[in-house]
Structure 1
Amino acid sequence: LCEDFEPSLAKRALFYLAFYPYALFFFAGYTESLFVLFSVAIFLLLRRGKPLDWWFAGGIGFLATLTRSTGVLLSIPFFIMYVRHFWVPAKRDQNSWLQKINALAPIVLFPLAILAYMAYLGFTKGNPFIVQSEEAAYWHRHFALLWITYANTIQSLLTHPLFSMVVVKNLLDITFTTLPIVVLIVGWKRLPLHYSLFAAAVMVFSLSFPLLNITPLTSQPRYMMAAFPVIVLLALWGKRPRFDQFFMSLGPPLLVLNTVLFVSHYWVA
């Protein structure tokens, strides 16, 4: 972020990320912290674009995909940066075909991680698709179009008592799922293309697999944190003192509340 934007923004983004309302999951036994770390490392390597950086990015992408399946979406910024380094008119003739192939080849490591994990499951569990079947059976998580996910959430809000836990949870889920989407839409043009497309892909992928029950957006606020470019946008807006004060009045108190609920064995996200 220091190289793509400026040091002060990088510091502010790190602060906002640490005090985001759901940042407690970076310190719990979840994969979000590793995924964001791997994602940022890949973006740094892609920006440098040295011969070995592409392979390091592919290797880290392999690890990121093992932490969560959305890691395969890191192939999107990988390909965009590959095109920028090797195929824009100003650079098209500066590199040999061998250099271009060497840089593109590691992109196969992203989907290869999923295939490797499926092979492991097939060998140890006898079913390479056991994750999908267990999620469908236990979590009732299935593919659904985005508007159906939101329609089911609104239907649940309207059909349960106003002050019930179901309504409270759905309100929190829909608020902190929708806010990152709105932030990305409003600030789309202020981010480099590979930042914006990666964040959008993470959001679409996550929302395409809701829970088919009374709380369809369960865990989505946590999944949205994987779209770290949204935090970059918040940090850009944080240059304005009023926005910074607004975030500080909202983020840390909600983080404390969610942490208290989490350690008290309440479901947060």
Structure 2
Amino acid sequence: MKFRLPQSPARFRLTTTLGTAAMNAVRSVAARYQWLIYPLLVFLLTRGVVWSAAYYAELAMPSPTSDAAWHALPNNVFLDVWARWDSGFYLGIVDHGYYFEPGQQSSVAFFPVYPLLTSLVKPLAGSTVAAGWLISNLCFLGALIFLYRLTEFEFRDASTARRAIFYLAAFPTSFFFSAIYTESTFLLFAIGAFYFARRQAWAWAVLFGLLCGATRIVGVVMWGVVGLEWLRAQGWTLQRSWRREAWSTLFKTLRTQWMILALICIIPLGLISYMGFLKVKFNDPVAFSTTQAAWQRQTNGPVKVVYDSLASLRGSDFLTGMRVWWHVLLDVGSLIAVLASSVTIWRRLGESYAIYSLLSMLIPASSSTQSLMRYILVVFPFFMLLGVWGKRQWLDTVLITGGCMFLGVLTTIFVNWYFVA
């Protein structure tokens, strides 16, 4: 039997020192790259749960047998569950191009950036559904990274950034970030535009803002948002607009930075380019608006639309008409939540954040309250604010527990062809 002599004190100290140094190096790397590591962990955790829930919900529950319940990939349940409702229009655009039939629901209502990205990835992914799913999830990961960095930049607090991205990823309707919808793509571009504008990287801010306008009609507001951020960088805000020195400084700056302002003015080209395409192909540059009537959407203003939605509940019994009740209440509740928090968003983050938040909800609410609990997903300043409020332990517990619980329920409903938003 061989006996090993114990280490000498000097050797033991050397081993301990090396181990401590290695641990410190790991901690240093983790701290330096937490803006990447934490969003990646949140993405993997929440998407893993959502993907699993969707897969087993489809297997365990019977789907409707009507003609509306089509299946894009019937032999691949994992991917097929993410092609529901409006996904069919995006898949059709990629595979067959745009079509427009006046008076009927037509694919021109859906803007081109997401289908374009999907078509670029399709040869690598192997199918249109796989490509769309891949784009949605990669864009969501990118959005989480940008949101982390932007929140940390604004509040100088990593814990607030961590809470903000987790609340977003665990929000009840956040399963749309993995579906073949534009939520994740638009969110990435919107946060990116804000992030680069706050960093005064104007060329990048303009590029992301332009992409917003070609992804959704609401994206055109990024023209004003990036413009306001440029004004703020020069010391001019709406609150200071009555001060003479604010205007004096602005005019002096314009003499040397007019090219940046001119660059910002090209942001609407995203929308204008799509309108030009529609004019050439269908002789109707606003076909995306014309076809909205087929979805019973008419611009009546948010006040009348909300009033009519609530009035529709009068003759509906809560139990027998539960589906109508929960749709209206959750959609209107999402709008009220953003409206109520907009003043605080203005105070804590600035006027551009508040204006973006308000218009992101008020523009769609001007024609219908339907799907507002999906549209709130791109109102990222609201989640940044929740990240601040989440310092209260009880609220943090409520947001995480309630969010995860309803996320599972709504995911199950969505993949089984029941309309959510």
Would the TM-score normalized by the shorter structure come out above 0.5? yes
Tell me by how many angstroms 1:26 deviates.
Answer: 0.9
The one-letter code matched in structure 2 to 1:224 is I
Q: Give 1:128's aligned residue.
A: 285
Deviates more, 1:10-19 or 1:197-206: 197-206
Q: Higher relative CO (CA 8 A, sep ≥ 6), structure 1 or 2?
A: 1
TM-score by length of 2: 0.58
Distance 1:147 1:155, change over 3 A: same
The one-letter code matched in structure 2 to 1:161 is D
Whether 1:219 and 2:371 are equivalent positions in the alignment is yes
Tell me by how many angstroms 1:168 deviates.
Answer: 3.0
* Counterpart selection for 1:168 from 302, 326, 329: 326
Distance 1:144 1:93, change over 3 A: closer
* Matches of 2:250 and 2:189, distance apart in 1: 31
Identity of aligned residues (%): 30
* Matches of 1:81 and 1:104, distance apart in 2: 11
Contact 1:86-1:100 within 8 A present in 2 as well: no
Deviation beyond 6 Å, 4+ runs, structure 1: none
Question: Partner of 1:234: helix, strand, or coil?
Answer: helix
Whether 1:268 and 2:416 are equivalent positions in the alignment is no
Whether 1:81 and 2:233 are equivalent positions in the alignment is no
TM-score by length of 1: 0.89
Whether 1:157 and 2:305 are equivalent positions in the alignment is no
Q: Give 1:63's aligned residue.
A: 211
Deviates more, 1:160-169 or 1:109-118: 160-169
What number of residue pairs does the alignment pair up? 259
Tell me by how many angstroms 1:171 deviates.
Answer: 2.4
Distance 1:58 1:225, change over 3 A: same
Equivalent runs, 1:99-138 vs 2, <5 Å: 99-136=256-293, 138=294
Distance 1:81 1:66, change over 3 A: same
* Matches of 2:192 and 2:255, distance apart in 1: 25
Q: Give 1:213's aligned residue.
A: none
Tell me by how many angstroms 1:54 deviates.
Answer: 1.2
Contact 2:175-2:407 within 8 A present in 1 as well: yes
Distance 1:162 1:67, change over 3 A: same
Question: Structure 1 unaligned runs (5+)?
Answer: 211-216
Tell me by how many angstroms 1:209 deviates.
Answer: 2.1
Whether 1:143 and 2:143 are equivalent positions in the alignment is no
Q: Give 1:214's aligned residue.
A: none
* Matches of 1:225 and 1:19, distance apart in 2: 11
* Matches of 2:285 and 2:378, distance apart in 1: 25
**Greater Rg, structure 1 or structure 2?**
2
Q: Give 1:7's aligned residue.
A: 158
Tell me by how many angstroms 1:169 deviates.
Answer: 2.2
* Matches of 2:255 and 2:206, distance apart in 1: 17
Whether 1:33 and 2:184 are equivalent positions in the alignment is yes
Question: Partner of 2:153: helix, strand, or coil?
Answer: coil
Cα-to-partner distance string for 1:156-202 (whole Å, 9 max, x where unaligned): 11122322122232223222332232233455423322212221222
Tell me by how many angstroms 1:95 deviates.
Answer: 7.4
Question: Partner of 1:225: helix, strand, or coil?
Answer: helix
Cα-to-partner distance string for 1:207-236 (whole Å, 9 max, x where unaligned): 1121xxxxxx21111112222101111111
The one-letter code matched in structure 1 to 2:363 is F
Whether 1:21 and 2:180 are equivalent positions in the alignment is no
The one-letter code matched in structure 2 to 1:126 is N
Q: Give 1:191's aligned residue.
A: 349
